Amino acid sequence: MEEGDFLTRIELVEDYKFKIDFNNVKEGVLMMDEPQPLGGGDYPNAGKFLAAAVGNCLCASLTYCLRRHRAEVISLTAEVSTTLSRNENGRLRITHISVELHPVVSEHNKLDACKQMFEDFCIVTQSVKAGIPVDVNVVEGGHGSL
């Protein structure tokens, strides 16, 4: 991602279903919905997209670091656990995100080097950390596929 602004358009389709357009033909559109009972739960909601964004950004940052160190990324999966809790006013808030990454790499020593620095490259996670605690754990070895 380059420095500068980017535009995302959001359009109400029906009930609580929204079409998300990233203003780029290649990216297409995504759908979002609120879970029941408010919405139909037909698509992920904003909280799930936030969790996915944090996890994806960390995966991309770790992959970037490993490749820069000339290590082969054989596989990489991540699990993102997100905690919803009520605040002092009784409003639901995301209060914690925990990410566990499971890389399989060609050279263990290069993974060790990247463990010390890859989080700092992650735009989304570092931005989110300003308001929500985010724990990151890298566990070498695969953990299945999606």
Tens of pLDDT along the chain (146 residues)? 678 888 889 999 999 999 999 887 687 889 999 999 999 999 999 999 999 999 999 999 999 999 999 999 999 999 999 999 999 999 999 999 999 999 999 999 999 999 999 999 999 999 999 888 899 999 987 655 55
Complete domains list, the chain, with CATH: 1-44 (no CATH), 46-138 (3.30.300.20)
Contacts of residue 145, defined as CB under 8 A and 6 or more positions apart, other chains included, come to 75, 77
Closest by Cα among 59, 58, 69 to 109: 69
Q: What is the pLDDT of residue 5?
A: 86
Q: What is the pLDDT of residue 143?
A: 59
Q: Which residue type is seen at 48?
A: K
Cα(71)–Cα(47) distance, integer angstroms: 33
pTM, rounded to two decimals: 0.87
Closest by Cα among 141, 135, 127 to 77: 141
On the 0-12 / 13-18 / 19+ scale of CB atoms within 10 A, 144 is exposed
